[in-house]
Amino acid sequence: MSLFVVTTKKKELAPVVYTPTVGEACLKYSEIYPFLNPPGAPDGLCITLDDLSRLDDILESYKLRSGQTPDITVMTDGSRILGLGDLGINGMPICMGKLQLYVASAGIHPHRTLPVTLDFGTNNEAYLTDEHYMGVRKKRPDDSTFYEAVNQVLFALRRVFPDIVVQFEDFSSAHAFGLLKRHRSQLACFNDDIQGTGVVVLAGLINAFRKVARTTNLRIQDHRIVFHGAGSAAIGVARQIQRYLETEHGVSEEEAKRIFYFCDSKGLITLDRGDTLAEHKVDYARKDNQGQQYRTLEEIVSYARPTALLGFSSVAHAFTSKVLSLMHQLNERPIIFPLSNPANKAECSFKEAMKATDNKAIFASGTAFPAYIDPETKKKYIPGQGNNMFVFPGLGLGSILSKTTSVSDDMLNSAAKALANSLTPEEVERGLIYPSLARIREVSSVVATAVIEQTMNEKLAKIDQIPEKQIKSFVESHMWSPEVEPSQK
């Protein structure tokens, strides 16, 4: 019954199943766990370092017990949950929530999903001394141990479930990039924080750039983007935009990188800043600052003169009224995307952005904000929400149905274009840059169709070739829906 309600009331219940409610569920998971399921009904699979020698037995036991072979797993180690930090085993609800969205939004059968938490320890001091914390109360292992352990888990999954799709979720930035680098060419896997976020933000930016182009002659490659935050999500977005510019607009790698200005807690990221930069930051560090360093966001915006300001910092209200007003001084239609989750970590609210820009901001956030009504004109403005659920269900469904051997950059690019082009004429007329959540299953089928088409173009699909015009009906015919007995309605 619960799946029927979630599937039929997706827009209303998405904030309950996922952000912002899932953040609260994670913080309290060790406390509420006994009340979540009846005895013997697990939430998912927790794997510790002590389990590595018997992984195949554990997975075979799960397969036997469930009577199903999972098509997709969402996997986390709980090291960077949303903007909440290291939650260890308490990150399990993230995997559960994501998979419920796969079910509701993409029609993947619930019995063919597998939430996995790698309980390798936690560096959260509060949990290490909390007797009620359910996870392993040890410090996290070194990198060598971590990567070898994850490698064993992934290849055990592939042995037991040969066609399984793996979604990495909320790993620390360094490990998120490291896992992709090691495994993306070996199995069908993707990281939602890096690639899913990259796809959904790119889709929103494509539509935002189209809106700007209606009143200016600004080409897409002439935009300048300031990233407030330089973690895995921010870098993933830059890489996706860069790929799009290179493949769709013929822009060189160097030209594409030139539009990005990254800042972290120390200011604008430059090669001569004097500190040791993480590997993923070096690629986008500025080298044209002529020795000048810019510390505050206001200084960086004044220097870079961006057309778009994207927030990935989890620093609430980092986009001050001064910064927002400055963005409006520089642009008739400033693009403001405070993308940090949950809402209390967002860099600004929709109301703050609209008030500071005379209602001209092209806005999208990670977590939904309420509509804004101008107190003078009484006009109602609807905010955009760059929620990853517009992308990962369709990307996962397309990967499952095609039995792809990997998730390529061009598959991601195809997903972004499909999402950007999925708006109805009425949604475009209303000024939206993302489709309505009420249409999420339709949008997921559009994304999955584009993904499958690309897997066939690249010869990554293990299924027989499907005529292009038949792919969408093939997708829709494989989307599961719950059925409720008349007595339960």
Query: Domains along the chain?
Result: 3-191 (3.40.50.10380), 196-385 (3.40.50.720), 391-478 (3.40.50.10380)
- Tens-place pLDDT, residues 261-301: 999 999 999 999 999 998 889 999 999 999 999 999 999 99
CA 79, 84, 88 angle in degrees (round to 5)? 30
37 is in an annotated binding site: no
170 is in an annotated binding site: yes
| Pairing verdict, β 372-373 and 380-381 | antiparallel
Calpha distance 100→104 (Å, rounded): 6
Average pLDDT, the chain: 93
Do 83 and 340 form a contact (C-beta atoms < 8 A)?
Answer: yes
For residue 178, pLDDT over 80 is answered with: yes
pLDDT band at 489 (very low <50, low <70, confident <90, very high): very low
- Tens-place pLDDT, residues 386-415: 989 999 999 999 999 999 999 999 999 999
Instruction: Name the 3-class secondary structure at 309.
Output: strand
Do 200 and 387 form a contact (C-beta atoms < 8 A)?
Answer: yes
Which candidate, 170, 172, 171, 295, places its Cα nearest to that of 228? Answer: 295
80 is in an annotated binding site: yes
Question: What pLDDT score does 19 carry?
Answer: 62
- Tens-place pLDDT, residues 193-222: 899 999 999 999 999 999 999 999 899 999
For residue 67, pLDDT over 80 is answered with: no
Chain-centroid distance, C-alpha 147: 22
3-state secondary structure labels for all residues of 241-261: HHHHHHHHHCCCHHHHHCCEE
- Tens-place pLDDT, residues 126-162: 999 999 999 999 999 999 999 999 999 999 999 999 9
- Tens-place pLDDT, residues 422-456: 999 999 999 999 999 999 999 999 999 999 999 99
Question: What pLDDT score does 379 carry?
Answer: 96
Question: What pLDDT score does 367 carry?
Answer: 86
- The predicted model scores a pTM of 0.91
For residue 124, pLDDT over 50 is answered with: yes
- Give catalytic status of residue 380 as yes or no: no
Marked catalytic residue, from 29, 62, 98, 244: 98
For residue 487, pLDDT over 60 is answered with: no
387 is in an annotated binding site: yes
- Tens-place pLDDT, residues 307-344: 999 999 999 999 999 999 999 999 999 999 999 987 88
458 is in an annotated binding site: no
- Tens-place pLDDT, residues 74-95: 999 999 998 789 999 999 999 9
- Give catalytic status of residue 98 as yes or no: yes
Question: What pLDDT score does 41 carry?
Answer: 66
- Tens-place pLDDT, residues 218-245: 999 999 999 999 998 999 999 999 999 9
> What's the Cα-to-Cα distance from 292 to each of 257, 262, 271, rounded to whole Å?
19, 15, 11
For residue 485, pLDDT over 50 is answered with: no
Marked catalytic residue, from 10, 18, 29, 102: 18
151 is in an annotated binding site: no
